[in-house]
Amino acid sequence: MAVTIRDVAALAGVSPSTVSRTCKNHSSISKETKEKVRYAMAQLGYEPNIQNTPPIEQTPQMLSVILPPSSRDVYENSFHLEVIRGISQFCNGRGYISTVITGQDNDEILRAIQNLVKEEKMGGFILLYSKQDDEIIDYLYNEGLLYVLIGKAKQFVNQTIYIDNDNFLAGQEATEYLYQLGHRKIAYVGKESDMCFSAERKAGYQKALAQYNLPFNANYCIEIDKFATDNNAIFCTLLEQKDRPTAIVASDDILAVALEQVCAKKGISIPKDLSIVSFNNSLFARITSPQLTSIDVNSHQLGIEAASQLINHIENPNLLATKIIVPHSLIERESCQKVEKNDI
């Protein structure tokens, strides 16, 4: 079996990214560490693709931002734009370059990553999403590439740097907010459960129901496979139930806006007939009518923290993997109102 960069890292007692930088003669690695890594390489017979190259500090290093695979919908979500704004702002202040990788599927994204890895100035990657069993994470980890995850790590947890909100708590608090307004028939609308943020918010929603002894109604809980405005049928199924919900927790502002549009067509008044709490506090929450009560996840700060941690680990390769939780807050607007007991 061929010797890998991780084998060298394990023998030398350093991170895979330190081995990679040693192969490129990176000036951020001390002379002592380089000697230790090169000794391990010699012992194992490891032959890197790049050897004895001059230090690469003369040109700015590049951080690559990876968007979720999608043909269209991901580019319409202002959450990603706010995160990228935070990343770019921090990179500009530290003299790093940021770029964006997109693709219709994982194969297209992987090809783009592989092309970028050939660039000696490539510093690391920031993934704007977290999902179960992600082959892109598998590739980055197995190749010893430095990456930061926005979202909770589900693979290689101890070795992964990640920035996240407490989405479980946020989902619980959104549901509790509706309960305190008098709602007892509370539904949840989210993205597919392999996306970790939505799964966590759904779990928090279910925890709040249990906390207040409200039964979990499977008909009140729906998952949609993409953020789009053409899911009217599934929304109608939810809203046309005989005992329809009086309130809904939506895992994203875009889903909430789509839901509002269906309600308008069906003559359901918001918030008189239906209260909605959504997530992200994006532009969509502010320009729709009525404006949405929304959980602000501080998208811009998520981007700043992700770029900060990636650069810290580039410049200090043997740091332990960092886990950071960015706080959230509920922004009250016009999409929710109290219900009277005889309306429950």
pLDDT for 231-255, tens place per residue? 578 889 899 998 999 999 999 999 9
> What tokens were used for 116?
């970028």
Rounded to the nearest integer, the mean pLDDT of the chain is 88
pTM: 0.81
Tokens representing residue 299 in the block: 């998208």
Output 20 or 171, whichever has higher pLDDT.
Answer: 171
Which of 28, 20, 19, 112 is CA-nearest to residue 64?
112
Percent pLDDT > 90 in the chain is 60
C-alpha to C-alpha distance for 204 and 198, rounded to whole angstroms: 10
Q: Which residues contact 187 (CB under 8 A, 6 or more apart)?
A: 217, 220, 221, 222, 238, 245, 247, 248, 249
Dihedral angle, C-alpha 128, 132, 133, 136, nearest 10 °: 0
pLDDT at 327 over 80: yes
Q: Place 133 in a pLDDT band, splitting at 50, 70 and 90.
A: confident
Q: What is the mean pLDDT of residues 204-217?
A: 96
Give phi and psi for 91, each to the nearest 5: -60, -40
| Overall average pLDDT of the 158-174 stretch | 96
Query: String of b and e for 96-111 (b: at least 16 CB within 10 Å)?
Result: bebeebbbeeeeebbe
Q: Which domains does the chain have, with CATH numbers?
A: 1-58 (1.10.260.40), 62-165+299-328 (3.40.50.2300), 167-297+330-343 (3.40.50.2300)
User: Given this model, what pLDDT does residue 56 score?
Assistant: 45
Mean pLDDT of all residues in 288-309 = 96
Q: pLDDT tens digits for 332-344?
A: 999 999 987 655 5
Q: Which residue has the higher pLDDT, 11 or 305?
A: 305
